[in-house]
Chain A
Amino acid sequence: MWKYLLEKEFKQFFRDPGLPRMALAFPVLMMLVFPFAVSMDIRNINLAAVDNCMSEESSRLIEKCTSSGYFRLVYHGQSADEAMRLMDNNKADAIITIMPGFDRETVSGSGFPVGIKVNTVNGTKGSLGSQYILQCVRSYVGEKNAASGTTVPPAADISEKYYFNPGMDYKLFMIPALIVIAITMITAFLPALNIVSEKEAGTIEQINVTPVSKTAFIACKMIPYWAIAFFILTACLIIAWAVFGYTSRGSVLWLYLFTILDIIVMAGLGLLISNYSSNAQQAMFVIWFFAVIFMLMSGIFTPIASMPQWAQYITYLNPMRYFADAMRAVYLKGSTPAELWYDVAGLAALGSVMVGAAVASYRKTE
């Protein structure tokens, strides 16, 4: 019986004009296109330099910035008003102001009269831009000390080192996260739509008058999508290795384990959605609602720690938060489930609540 139910689901899946192609294209597209698209590496920041010193030292500092590759010099002059006007017109993203006496003071070590203004209309570009400028200034100071042999104490000496992803490579950072998004979409939302469409077609009614138990019927609806989820996970890992040369630092087994945990949560959610929607349109809207919240509040694109406290509380209810955190930790850091016990606990708790609620709302007869 199960065999035949499954056979029918797979038959319908492969007969669908779009689904099999989508399942194939999805991991390829995701791994080859999205890591570049969602990259947070920012280049070509337009920099305006207000140079009130016009000395050799000041032009070396500006050169340092432009040669870093992050900046494009759009203005180099003495008018602060002109630089501000450029920023107002969106022609400049950052202004570096060098005060008169810059050369004298840096050499004597008595000060470092440099000001930085950053346009933060685009927050990411702004904060990264100011970091890049600071980096340039820092390296300028470092070089200067080395060259002159003097022991000028820099105003601040902060050295940063990025562990687990030394080059701050966003592609590497995004790969586990994209896998998380793909698996969530496939295992929660596609089966929900599938079940709702059987409701719409009336076929579920026809099945309900047969001796087939609803549990068997629903399980057989979900299993093909689980198979697809594992296929996508495997395909993504292979592409990441073959194209970018990335491999998981932790055991691949743990990646699969967390995927199974996530699948349980998502199966519950998918079933809940299908129980409460009577047509595909309703289901689509609910899915869209959850998909957006899951993604934006998962820490995949923006760190959870930088959210306001109340928003952070909401993320505790987001299964994607735990799943994304676990996948990144295993993939980038080589963590084990014992170290990620809170992610395991979070997924397990949400899973039991979702599945419990889904089963409770899913009655045998109306």
Chain B
Amino acid sequence: MKAIEISGISKNYGQVAALREISLDVDSGEIFGLIGPDGAGKTTLFRIMTTLMLADAGSGKICGMDIVSDYSRIRKIIGYMPGRFSLYQDLSVRENLEYFATLFGTTVEKNYGTIREIYSQIEPFRDRKAGKLSGGMKQKLALCCALVHKPSVLFLDEPTTGVDAVSRSEFWKMLERIRKSGVTVFVSTPYMDEASLCDRLAMIRGGEIIGTGTPEQIISAYPYRLLSVEGDRIYPLLKRLRETEGVISCFSFGASLHLAYDPEKTEASGILAAIRESGLGDCKVREISPGIEDCFMQLARK
């Protein structure tokens, strides 16, 4: 049975279409990533899947239960961690955890095994008020609270936004461990570099899914070849490259430029020659293999 199956989900806020005919399948026991920029509709999709909001059109099932008619049963088997820290700041770590355990009709002791690994890191601060925790610890507490009732599916809405690089990689290691215990993880993120850590992913932009598959599938489906160009005068270089024959797209990517070209129309040497011609020759050019972000940029162009 699929953990999540949704088809044709649409949602409008007044005149603005937040989601357009979204269809997704998530297998049980995988980490599924929803990747897209801010405002792509990620949170709206989360709210529909977690039964907090009704879609205008389309249907969905979580573990075989309908998101509209079976909402009360779904709520017992999902864990949801919203993007914003939303626990009680005036209750202690332990009290928050016990509160959420009770709401699901269970106790912390009964499910201690599920949260032990994460909870052990914040246990020294069990009597501290949640509002007084550091950002990383708040996140761990929120994760514990979402896991305390042993959910079958865990929804994490941008859990790593605003978190430092070290804590982010630590967090993904935790997700890996959660997945191993049999929980399906549905996670959204605006960071493309986290995409390769998912088993499968869907890219969302402007309320539409623009690509889906394993990270490898998405990368191998990239139709062009890619060059990395580094130079001193980035902006004139970018302008010149975009005008060059056979170049599909060119974007700045950190300190360098990523240039996609159609191998049927031109070659790397041809592009290099064009640069030299315009007097911007003192730059490093090398062939690279595409990453998820390159794929996203390419798919988003359509």
| A4 surroundings in chain B (CB, below 8 A) | 99, 102-103
| B84 surroundings in chain A (CB, below 8 A) | 202
Q: How far is the CA of A286 from the CA of B100 in the complex (A)?
A: 32
A1 to chain B, nearest CB (A): 7
| B51 surroundings in chain A (CB, below 8 A) | 209, 365
Question: B76 is contacted by which of A16, A207, A211, A364 (Cβ under 8 Å)?
Answer: A211
Residue contact B89 to A201, C-beta cutoff 8 Å: yes
| B190 surroundings in chain A (CB, below 8 A) | none
Question: Does B261 have its Cβ within 8 Å of any Cβ on chain A?
Answer: no
Residue contact A366 to B53, C-beta cutoff 8 Å: yes
B48 to chain A, nearest CB (A): 10
Question: A202 is contacted by which of B82, B95, B100 (Cβ under 8 Å)?
Answer: B82
> Which chain B residue shows the least CB distance to A206?
B86
> Which chain B residue shows the least CB distance to A201?
B86
| A209 surroundings in chain B (CB, below 8 A) | 50-52, 75, 78, 80
A3 to chain B, nearest CB (A): 9
Interface size on A, residues (CB 8 A): 21
A158-213 residues with Cβ-Cβ distance < 8 A to B are 201-203, 205-212
Residue contact B95 to A210, C-beta cutoff 8 Å: no
Question: Does A15 have its Cβ within 8 Å of any Cβ on chain B?
Answer: yes
Size bin of chain B's contact surface:
20 to 34
Residue contact B99 to A12, C-beta cutoff 8 Å: no
Question: Does A11 have its Cβ within 8 Å of any Cβ on chain B?
Answer: yes
What string of 1s and 0s marks CB contacts (under 8 Å) between B138-157 and chain A?
Answer: 00000001000000000000
Q: How far is the CA of A300 from the CA of B102 in the complex (A)?
A: 46
Residue contact A206 to B54, C-beta cutoff 8 Å: no
Question: B90 is contacted by which of A12, A205, A212, A365 (Cβ under 8 Å)?
Answer: A12
Question: Does B87 have its Cβ within 8 Å of any Cβ on chain A?
Answer: yes
Residue contact A203 to B87, C-beta cutoff 8 Å: yes
| B104 surroundings in chain A (CB, below 8 A) | 210-211
Q: How far is the CA of A92 from the CA of B62 in the complex (A)?
A: 81
Residue contact B53 to A8, C-beta cutoff 8 Å: no
| Seed contacts A11-B95, A206-B145, A210-B104; 8 additional CB < 8 Å A-B pairs | A12-B88, A201-B89, A206-B86, A206-B100, A207-B103, A209-B78, A211-B72, A366-B53
The 3 A-B residue pairs with the shortest CB-CB distance, nearest first, are A202-B86, A210-B103, A4-B102
